[in-house]
Structure 1
Amino acid sequence: MALLHRATLRPTKLDLLTAWLPGRQWFTGPAGVEVVSRGAYRFDDPAGEVGIETMLVGAADGPVHQVPLTYRANPLDGAEDWLVGTTEHSVLGPRWVYDGCADPVYAAALAHAILAGSGQADEYFEVDGRREVREPTMTVVATESGNDNPPSVGALRRVVDQDSTLISTDTVEMVVVRRPGVGADGATGATLIGTWDGQPTSVPLAYARVR
């Protein structure tokens, strides 16, 4: 379950991504053009410390790009090269925003979502002491999964950011598709697939396999 706050961010997530994305080798689009959101889904951090959101974004008339993000109250040691930016959350205060592919909390959540078949987290707003469901802007499900006891992910060992992003841990190897519907040809393993407005048929978003 992802419990969200009705809050403002300065700068916004899309502002941060508009500045950050042109420096990624897998990004297709002109620099300086504002990106728009096509959909998003969340995973749950069991410890409740790290926000985990994956956004699908792109220029208004360009391809869709998948960007996992983690939101932290403090900097993540050793992840300076993966910092998307910092923002001020009107409820939670300063937040450090990272490309989730280099965040061990995201890696563990992605592995569990695919290998255990848990998929995306339900989203809620807390309003006046009660919880209101937030309707998702896209749907993701895992295929070829159902392992009730997936292995512990362990430490991140290697992250290779190319057309797709390889995340290698002690026990699990994962591939995040950066341009859904285009990249990661030849990737194997249990698969996370998704649909969103404008993409009515399911396409692979990520793969995971036990090493």
Structure 2
Amino acid sequence: MALLHRATLRPTKLDLLAAWLPGRPWFAGPAGVDLVSRGAYRFDDPTGEVGIETMLVGAADGPVHQVPLTYRAAPLHAADEWLVGTTEHSVLGTRWVYDACADPVYAAALAHAILAGTGQAEQYFEVDGRREVREPTVTVVVSDAGDAAVPPVGAVRRVVDEDAALISTDAVELVVVRRPGAADAAGPTLLGSWNGQPMSVPLAYARKR
């Protein structure tokens, strides 16, 4: 489960992405464009230390871009080139926001979500000591999964950041589709649908090394 906080962020996540996305080689759109959120989904960090959220964003009339993010209370070692920016969280304080493709916590969560078939985490707020579930804005399903014995992912050894970002780790290879669209799913695949995209499309793939 992913615990959310009713909080404000300065700058907001969309503000951070509006400044960062135009510098990515896979971004389709002009600099300075106003971004809108199409939806988001989360995975759970078993240690509860790192927030893991994947945002689907784009210009009002442009393609949707998939941006996995991790939120950390301190900088990730040797990952400056993957830093999206920092933001002030009204509950948690300063958060370092990273492109999650280079974050080993995200790689482990994505591999488990696909290979074990667990999908996304349930999101909830705590209100007066009780859980209040937040309905997801992206519906995620997994195809061709079912291997519960997911190997430890280990370190992220290499990231090839293109239209399909390739993440190589000690135990698995992962592919994150940066601009999701119609495509065939082959092998264990994370698929998603959202408002404006009623049919599920591939979001990510996983395979053991």
TM bin (shorter chain): over 0.9
Give aligned pairs, total. Answer: 209
After TM superposition, give the deviation of residue 127 of structure 1 in Å: 1.1
Q: Which residue is equivalent to 2:81?
A: 81
Letter in 2 for 1:158: R
Q: Which residue number corresponds to residue 206 of structure 1?
A: 204
RMSD, aligned CA: 1.2
Structure 1 segment 22-171 matched on structure 2, within 5 A: 22-171=22-171
Q: Deviations over 1:85-104 (max 9, x none)?
A: 00000000000000000000
- Quick one: structure 1 residues 21 and 154, their matched pair in 2 at CA, closer, same or farther if it must change by over 3 Å? same
Of the three residues 184, 190, 193, the one matched with 1:192 is: 190
**1:82 CA displacement:** 0.2
CA distance in 2, matches of 1:206, 1:2: 20
- Asked whether the 8 Å contact 1:188–1:209 carries over to 2, the reply is no
**Residue by residue, what CA displacement relative to the aligned partner does 1:27-75 show, whole Å, maximum 9, x if unpaired?**
0011001111000000000000000000000011100000000000000
Assess if the C-alpha contact under 8 Å between 1:188 and 1:208 holds in 2: no
Give 1:189 deviation, angstroms: 3.1
* Whole-Å separation in 2 of the counterparts to 1:78 and 1:176: 21
SS at structure 1 position matched to 2:139: strand
Structure 1 position 154, deviation (Å): 1.2
The normalised TM-score by structure 2 is 0.98
Rounded to whole Å, the distance in 2 between the matches of 1:196 and 1:186 is 18
Counterpart Cα distance in 1 of 2:185 and 2:31: 29
Moved segments of 4+, more than 2 Å = 185-189
Long gaps (5+) in structure 1: none
Given the two structures, how large is their TM-score scaled by the length of structure 1?
0.97
